Structure 1
């Protein structure tokens, strides 16, 4: 018996060492630096890794796509008020792609592979095959992590040294288990059972594999400082309510700010429209508390107490205690039966006590519904299919950025809709909901929802201030630049000029005032500086009149008029002066 206890103690000590390694290597949660609008040199995908506690989310691919648009590799165009109508256009004269990181090239290659005639709808970027989505996103994840490690901003959570230490300890545990098996006569010459060293090797292999398993990334000293700085950028962006409701096409004005906003989780609408995977129920947007943020959700499945009713738990506890008592009474002479009886008796008593306390300490939680899905089903009979009787319900109560789903009886599912604010009465130990009260109605916030014109109308007005009238450019001015007749039409982000006859966009004029205007001006101060402080950079020109920033972008066939952009800016200055 002493040998068995020694082997059990060895396994327990190894598990304790492994647990301590996991505790001491948990990724840090650095405090944000002071709010700032100064961007750093790190790519948006790497920033997404750092600000999410060294865990990569779908923000990495989405922010990379926006960054490619900001750097003119692609164009994002929104022809109407619905951001879901956004289309991605391949640039006819993109910059050199030699400087792209592998994960940036991977996103660009997917867009090029799906484009037909140089255009792909934004909704077509979503994967339709789960295995393809998993493979593509895993490849992108490894590439981003490798880049972060090269920069010294990330490292393996369980280092190779720690894995080696755990393997050495596992070898000692294997010897202890093998010795206990040998001492009990397992594997001796007269025994047909597996030899004792098979137990030793299996124990060593299992524990070594567990110790070598990847647990993701963790922080470094440089990574913590960089993450704190980017968290300061996130706080600055979140301080402006309008920023969260910017559509993807706004990258034409906000430049890389929108890409980094997606990376740090500050762009609710743009991130909702963009989707480069199958969707993630474990990372859900929430507006509870007045600020858009993402909440990580864990879904309990395997523990038998989760979601169970009070009678079920009481019966199970009584059954365990009763079986254990019977074993102790009638099979007490066998040592292993004695231990089994004691374990069952203690488990039954524990379940009874915890079930009673669970009812006594039931509490109320108020929060926003994040996600609801079927959890457990049962078959009524052979002729009828399985019917659900318990759902998972994830609630954000505003206490933390992580939560665990509760067990919701299916008959109450109709009372809980995504985005609703509800008050639930719960039993914490069994995680079962016993009462639901809807406090406030909310629209669906699923990541695949379509944003309607009514929801973006206010934003559209804010993006086109009164300073845009009288018009700075006439149709004749634009026709002189692009070399063909044009017609103008209003858009949520400004005015779009299309070629007469074909209807294809050739020029986009956008204007912003106030804080968005100052940010747009800062983002577009690049390229050739013109008299009066305007800038021309390739297909784009930017200038300020008073407190309003104007951005002119040539598109499609209109790019042939690059040489005339300085003249067009001068025309705007003359009209404004008159």
Structure 2
């Protein structure tokens, strides 16, 4: 065995040893078993906040419903008020009280939740559905910061700790890149350039470091396991009340902090569902643009032909649909019954099978349209090959393909497809003509913005014009910048393709949109 081979085998052996050590570390640092205590309604002398209880109740894996539980706890303590004006709990509103505006001595995660509510209820009360975020990234960032603040509080109370100690995590991270060093040396000795050698050496370490990073979670302490058992007893007591899970958020005035702890422990399904601090329902967004809060229903025209297309693009799509229609029509008119003959597997004329003849004409017309539309890729040929497979296995003297190939003149399916593609070509031409008109001007607030798959594909922009409870998303060019959720904009749009031609910022969105920042004082 040469030295180069020894280095490669040595690196592989080190990777195996690292994996064994990593598995052993995972087993040695796994969470202990929580022993549920007896059912009880007592919180204890120094009860943990509901947000921390959510961490304990989720086995230190996450803080699901922690934000909703914190809001209910703030309501129980008089910092906010939850009102339900009618029978529908989804129409409940949240209001910040005078005590909440001062809010002394709150923990960081409580301040974060209260700040979010205050920002949304700046001009009085706000529907509880309006607390949800309109932007997925902002929601993820906000909830991530909330989770870190809750974990920090749990560590201060001695209930949680790092899964790996600092020396163990550092040792595993360092050793993850040792095999790659051997691979790099072996690659250089083997005559590879430095870039290739570096890539070979770094790749294993990156994979192992990724595995290590995914396992860096929280771990229970003995005190944490004891307190988790106590709160499991409270969960059992709350679960025994059959109607507790269906309590609306406004019932906090009757159940006090029990509703908050029940939400943290996953018992109150209705309250935790209504008090969402995530990205919310993408098809139903609360908006105050126009003066009053109201739910706005949103439609996304994903299957609308020509959506977001320019004039040149519409003409190209019209040409593609027209090519398909002409190709199918020409094939149907010129096709003769003697083009195809029923054959068996031992005949040299296998290419004249009825199924292959028909499939070749139909798939060939479709391929021409794909080429004209500019959508031809390496996968197109694979799809075309698979589309011809059913006809390839057709032989003998009976079957749909045999009867269709023997038919004189166009088939019903060919006539239908020709008319459909012809109508589609006409539709694109009409849209292209409409695009030549002067764009309309509309003004409103951006409710949501969503990306779509594919490079250069227009994004969805949902605009609330303040005069309707139902809106349809517009197509915002992918290269557009400077527009954010919550901003007031003036758009020049083409209604036929629902395309935004230009956008003017009227009022910028509030920075971050989550915390109410104190006003800057004049230095003079």
Calculate the TM-score normalised by the size of structure 2: 0.49
Q: Which has the larger radius of gyration?
A: 2
Comparing both chains, which one has the higher relative contact order based on Cα–Cα distances under 8 Å and sequence gaps of 6 or more?
2
More strand by share: 1
Calculate the TM-score normalised by the size of structure 1: 0.45
